[in-house]
Amino acid sequence: MPESFSRQVIFVVNGPGEISGWLYPLASSLKRELPHVKVCVALAPCVFSSGAELAVVRALAYVDEACSVWDMFRLAATGRLPAGFSADLPGIVVHLGGESYFSWAIAKWLKQKCFAYVETPFPLQRRFEKVFFSGFEKIADRALPANGQIIGELMLDATHMRCPERATRERREFLIGLYPGSRDYLVKYTLPFMSVAADLVSKAAPQIRWAVARADFLPMDFLRDLPDVNDGRPLEGQNMRFEDGPEGPALVTTAGTRIEIRANADVLPDISMGLTIPGTNTAELAILGVPIVLILPTVWAETSPLPGIGGHLSHIPFVGRYLKRAAAHLYLRRLKFLAHPNRRANRMVVPELVGPIRASEVAEAVLKLASQDLEPIAKDLQEIMGKTGATARFLAELRPYLEAGDERARLDVPMA
């Protein structure tokens, strides 16, 4: 352990959205401002997991140590620290996703104070030192706990940190970014479906360029060898040819449409529009003022992850897939909007196509949006998503517990 580490923070985080939207701005800023703090990440289970979270987190320059879900379970249950985590460093635990009990239990074993960043109230919140709310979900004053505070959305900071050059980048070509998801079990359906729509759009507007915004959690090897679409799926799709030439990797459709494969961070500065499934990326694109068309084909709904117990129904023998399909449709009926800017504004700012949709419908929606003046939509999106500053406010609250020589992080309370 380097001599310079005098404090430790254990971030408990689960899915890709929380890692890229919450952990990234907070942990990277903390490491830059307080280099004496050891940054550790414990992964919690998540139905939205891609399976690549541990590898991605371990590769982050601002993370000193990371542990698997299994090691996190053992730490929460027995207090046994994973390799690289330090028992002799005072510090704090920060809950950024997953079941809050795990974060609370880890803090108790280490006799440290626990903080949380969440969107909605949760049962254990009064046992935490402080609970910070994003403000995305409206919370009545009476529901805000005494230790609660609304500090804003970390995702806003994450997006502008990830793409600082978009505001000054000159965009001469019309580029549509495809966001098929970060999990291979969804991408194998969504990307071939999107490619059919891309062919239809390109036939009417051949000047449009295309790029897959590949998430860090999606291996390039998966895109090199996408599963055969002739597997009985009810969703439209086509097999594509992978090319890796001087202009970079790309997928080529049967009609000859070239879809570049680029990291999301490389797509964001140049993108004119997005075609996406629901997720964190709908917020990221809106923050940058990028108009989108959101799609969610509902055929085989049981293949999609669901929050809570609904995400585990498919494991029930024989009837599980049908129960999860019913739960998925029930969940969708409860949601008025799926895109983040639509949910924030409580109106249809960008189009959403949900149901047993066809590629021709998607193409029509894309062409309709592309034909409009996008500047007013971009300004509307950015106003809806709000302003940055949540990371600075969060770190200001944590800093007193992490300054060298300050022992406020230590709790003299045994494990209950």
Per-residue confidence (pLDDT) for residue 335, from 0 to 100: 61
Q: How large is the average pLDDT for residues 138-156?
A: 86
Q: Which residues contact 306 (CB under 8 A, 6 or more apart)?
A: 47, 313, 324, 327, 328, 331
Per-residue confidence (pLDDT) for residue 405, from 0 to 100: 54
Per-residue confidence (pLDDT) for residue 321, from 0 to 100: 54
Here the tokens at position 147 are 């230790």
Q: What is the mean pLDDT of the chain?
A: 87
Here the tokens at position 403 are 């300054």
Closest CA to 57 of 100, 13, 8: 13
| DSSP label at residue 363 | H
Q: Which domains does the chain have, with CATH numbers?
A: 7-152+389-402 (3.40.50.2000), 166-385 (3.40.50.2000)
- Tens-place pLDDT, residues 114-123: 999 999 899 8
Closest CA to 258 of 204, 193, 189, 212: 212
Do residues 244 and 147 touch, judged by C-beta distance below 8 A? Answer: no
What is the SS3 string spanning 123-168? CCHHHCCEEEECCCCCCCHHHCCCCEEECCCHHHHHHHHHCCCHHH
Distance between CA atoms of residues 86 and 110, nearest Å: 10
What is the percent of the chain with per-residue pLDDT over 70, rounded to a whole number?
86
C-alpha 24 chain-centroid distance:
11
Secondary structure class of 292 (helix, strand, coil):
strand
- Tens-place pLDDT, residues 362-386: 999 999 999 999 999 999 999 999 9
Per-residue confidence (pLDDT) for residue 414, from 0 to 100: 37
Position 334 confidence tier, pLDDT thresholds 50, 70, 90? low
